[in-house]
Amino acid sequence: MPLPASLSQYLYRRPQRIALLQHVAEQGSITRAAKAAGLSYKAAWDAIDELNNLAHTPLVQRSVGGKGGGGARLSAEGERLLRLYQRLQALQAQVLEAAEDADDFDLLNRLMLHTSARNQLHGRVVAIDAQGRNDRVHLDLGAGLSLSAVITHDSTERLALEPGVAVVALIKAGWLALHPAASVSAEGDNHLEGEVQVVLDDAEGPSEVRIGLANGQTLCALAPPERVAELALKAGQPVAARFGPSMVLLGKPL
């Protein structure tokens, strides 16, 4: 199966993430892999969540808690990606020699976009409903999960969106509101249920709550400490994340 274009671009810009995968394979622990890669534990979680979200299937399989921060290993897809990247390294020197000018690489860098949105969920357009000057775009995220985004009709045309097109839904962590999994969502809102993977407290700000979804992707939400306490959030607990369709930005892999 070919790599998703977004994952290929991400690894091109962030080769140290491949090193993290290598360390996970060698160490069998996110904590030890983070140390070997020169990353903080939080940065390693961030990187693995991004990699798992960008891939067709999760690259890293992990268990939260336990001595050393929990165990971790590469999935079959993660091992395949690591082998592929090692083969690509052998071609890198040839590509560098083929470039006619250093500006060639500056141009490539400008064409590849980074975003500050913590959540990048991959899905496919299943329907588009016109709503005046806006369109409500319905996405299938897999494993029975779905969401919708409201964007302008001009954006729909510019991205050439239609049923079947693969897109990336960008959602900032601060836009997610956490609720009990069994609660009823307001009409029109997106409602994604999952299981808490970890809660990362911050003495100076909101806590980060990582939520594993049924499709293997991960949501990151920011929640005030009092909300975390109110919901008694902890690893393994079901929880729901709500957000309006106007809070979803859509992107399309090049």
The residue segments making up the domain with residue 39 are 5-111
Separation of alpha carbons 71 and 66, rounded Å = 8
Mark whether 137 and 101 lie in a shared domain: no
pLDDT of residue 110 exceeding 60: no
Of 60, 76, 111, the last residue of a domain is 111
| Closest by CA position to 47, among listed 71, 70, 98, 13 | 13
- Residue 206 to residue 204: CA distance in whole angstroms: 7
Name the domain boundary from 92, 111, 130: 111
Q: What residues contact 27, with CB distance under 8 A and at least 6 apart?
A: 33, 36
> Are 83 and 136 part of one and the same domain?
no
- Show which of 81, 111, 141 is a domain's final residue: 111
Say whether both 104 and 148 belong to one domain. Answer: no
**H-helix segments, the chain:** 5-13, 16-27, 30-37, 41-54, 76-98, 103-111, 153-158, 225-231
Question: Is 131 in the same domain as 227?
Answer: yes
* 50-72 pLDDT per residue, tens: 888 877 788 888 766 555 455 88
pTM score, two decimals?
0.63
Same-domain status, 120 and 94: no
Same domain for 181 and 146: yes
Nearest Cα to Cα of residue 75 among 21, 129, 142: 21
Mean pLDDT within 110-123: 70
Question: Could you say which DSSP state residue 3 is in?
Answer: P
Number of structural domains found in the chain: 2
- Report pLDDT digits (tens) over 157-198: 988 999 999 998 999 999 999 999 988 877 889 999 999 999
Q: 170 with 63, same domain?
A: no
